[in-house]
Amino acid sequence: MTQHTKHSAWALCLILITALLSGCASTVGLNDDKPNGFAYVEINGSDTALIKAAAIEVFSQKEGFEVVRDTGNTVRFTKDGSKATTILYGTSFNTDSTTIEPELSVETLNDGNHRLHCEVYIMEHMNDGAVKPGWRVLKNGHRGYMKLLNEVKDLSETK
């Protein structure tokens, strides 16, 4: 291999790595600290308890998520991630598995209606049993979660 070929190969590798890292940053939210940036839906004529009950029904019974925390206006769910999720979001060879953890929060608006926010986190479970804080997902799966939030809206809104 000539000197010119080696430099070209290194330049190509650096370009690819830069492109991959910038894509990952925008996908998983490395550069974003704004809350409630993933998905939300406004719900009319309901109350927090009914909205939370509908959310638990949709996420648990229909999608297989388990409730990990249910306090105040917030419910957090968990579900095992796929091998693809572990490969995409695992940060080391020590990553054993991942879980997908949507967190829903109900906010009361000035007009008495409610906004249901959804943030999604990917948690890493390491081979030694430790759990690493997760990535906050910004765009991947947005449509799927909007569909779920709209199902919650349909169940909890008064007609």
> What digits encode the pLDDT tens for the residues 100-149?
899 999 999 988 899 999 999 888 888 887 777 777 776 677 788 899 99
* Rounded average pLDDT over 68-95: 86
In this prediction, residue 12 has a pLDDT band, given cuts at 50, 70 and 90, of: low
For the ranges 12-16, 73-77, 87-91, 150-154, the lowest mean pLDDT is seen at: 12-16
Q: Which two tokens stand for residue 106?
A: 């109900």
Pairing of strands 114-126, 131-137: antiparallel
C-alpha–C-alpha distance, residues 105 and 76, integer Å: 9
Exposed e or buried b per residue across 64-74, where buried means at least 16 C-beta atoms within 10 angstroms of its C-beta? ebeeeeeeeee
pLDDT, position 123: 86
Question: Helix (H) and strand (E) counts for the chain?
Answer: 4, 6
Q: Which residue has the higher pLDDT, 15 or 133?
A: 133
Give the predicted TM-score (pTM) of the model: 0.71
